[in-house]
Chains A and B, each alone.
Chain A
Amino acid sequence: MKLLFFLFSSIFICSSVLAQDDLLNEINTDSIDEQFEMPAFKATRIINGESSKLAAKKEFHLVISHRFGSIKDGFTTFFGLDNANTYIGLLYGITDKLNVSLGRETYRKTIVGSLKYKITEQSKDFPLHLVAFAGIYANTQLSDNAYPELTNTDRLSFLYQLQVARRLTDHFSLQLTPKYVRQNLKYSDYDIYNYFILGAGGRYKVSKRVALTAEYDYNFSRPEQNPFKNPLSLGVDLETGGHVFQLLFSNAQANLPPSYLTYATGDWSEGEIYFGFNIVRVF
């Protein structure tokens, strides 16, 4: 009996020494399973608004955006394609946490300069992406001849916002964005100077390279008589290696924040929708 025990124990020791799996287990430590989160958004914009994504250090983005005329116009303007509002901008990552951007849009011949700063990233230590954004926008369309009393500060608008984003699942990301918009000029009696807005935007990945996006901004400060609408945009993100191509429909024709947030003229219920796209080329 004891002989049997000795024999079995020897065989047992023998087999455990030879097993390769044990060798792998010795180094297969769980520290490698360390959790990490992917960015919530692929492009630096959800649709019209900024996303929590930044350009990496020394990364250079060329952004070209078009917002065409209302598709309600039908064949007379070829569903708005005749009337393009174009934005061309450059974005540069000074560090992984700080981006600077310069651009110009056709709508009110607006020139923009902006800064974006990543405060923190979603990880196992902190559940949210927090990004601060500040932009200064100059309306260069107003001519001094037509408005002799206009000063340069009247041309300016400002946007300050905090992007609070989270990738909730591998497919779904959500962002809440409290915004403050300052318009230095009242274009009509219905306008005001200071707007407080809460934006919500999301992305749902349909496949590895296709995502659906949506964005809405609720304006808390808009006076009742003010005829403009809250912007609602729906889009599709297509990833093609070095590009992100964003197709979208929105009731705002303007591209840049203070304008699209406060002067959206379209109405989804009446079909006053603008088609557009953003192309981002990463260098």
Chain B
Amino acid sequence: MKRYFILYIILLFPLKNSYSQTKYKTEVGECNFSASVPAFEPIEAKSDKLIGILDEGTGNIAAVIPIKSFEFPIALMQEHFNENYLDTKKYPKATFKGVIKDFLIKQSGTYQYQGTLSIHGEEQSISGELLILYENNTYNVSSQMTLMPEDYKIKIPKIVYKKIAETVIVQLKLNLAPTS
């Protein structure tokens, strides 16, 4: 019995290690996007309701944002965005889950990530680069991604086709602090 117990401890040892590492979280992450085309009125929106979480031990990262939280300078544009393009009532949030490759604990640097992004009820795998600055026990994560609305089945009618860019540039900023 004693031998089994020792074996169990040995087996659990690497896991215990990962347990001791902290999760880092924010609920006020920033996200903004731009789908502007030169010479037309800018199509831009921002939100500061991005929720993000990072597991230091595994390098796993996840984020979720309420679509409704995006604010446009023009109210009508916001209404169109929610009602005609993103179907916000049906798909209230966008989510991301993924892993940071070769993540080093408490190390600043540029990392590659790989994951799944879900917008408008459509899932797409996505990869890219993250810039991480570790300061004052906080991971400051920033990233930029380029998305194609058609990948997420967001239809843009012909009549406004020229006014909305084919690629949407999304910028993210998360200051992740340790969870207690």
Contacts and interface: CB of A to CB of B under 8 A. Distances in A.
A76 interface: no
A28 B97 CA distance: 11
Most buried by A among B64, B75, B79, B89: B75
Contacts of B64: 24, 27-28, 32
B4 A3 contact: yes
Contacts of B62: 20, 23-24, 26-27
B39 interface: no
A27 B52 contact: yes
Contacts of A33: 92-93
B142 interface: no
Given A27-B51, A170-B89, A6 B8 contact: yes
Interface residues of B, number: 45
Contact of A20 (B8, B11, B98, B163): B98
B84 interface: yes
B176 to A, nearest CB: 11
Interface in A12-55: 13-14, 17-18, 20-21, 23-24, 26-29, 32-34, 36, 38-39
A7 B11 contact: yes
Contact of A17 (B58, B74, B98, B99): B58
A7 B11 CA distance: 8
Contacts of B7: 3, 6
A10 B23 CA distance: 21
Contacts of A57: 75
A23 B115 CA distance: 13
Contacts of B157: 209
B6 to A, nearest CB: 11
A242 interface: yes
Contacts of A18: 58, 60
A208 B23 CA distance: 42
Contacts of B84: 208-209, 239
Interface in B1-22: 1, 4, 7-8, 11-12, 15, 18-19
Interface string B25-62: 10000000000000000000000000111010110111
Q: Give the 10 A-B CB pairs with smallest separation, nearest first.
A: A56-B75, A24-B62, A23-B62, A6-B8, A24-B97, A10-B11, A32-B66, A27-B51, A241-B160, A20-B97
Interface of A: 2-3, 6-7, 10, 13-14, 17-18, 20-21, 23-24, 26-29, 32-34, 36, 38-39, 56-57, 59, 96, 170, 208-209, 239-242, 282
Given A27-B62, A209-B84, 18 more contacts: A13-B12, A18-B60, A23-B97, A24-B62, A24-B97, A26-B53, A27-B64, A28-B95, A32-B64, A33-B92, A34-B68, A36-B89, A38-B79, A38-B89, A56-B75, A59-B74, A241-B160, A242-B76
20 contacts: A6-B4, A6-B7, A6-B8, A13-B15, A20-B62, A26-B53, A26-B62, A27-B51, A27-B53, A28-B93, A29-B51, A32-B51, A32-B92, A34-B92, A36-B89, A38-B83, A56-B76, A59-B75, A170-B89, A208-B83
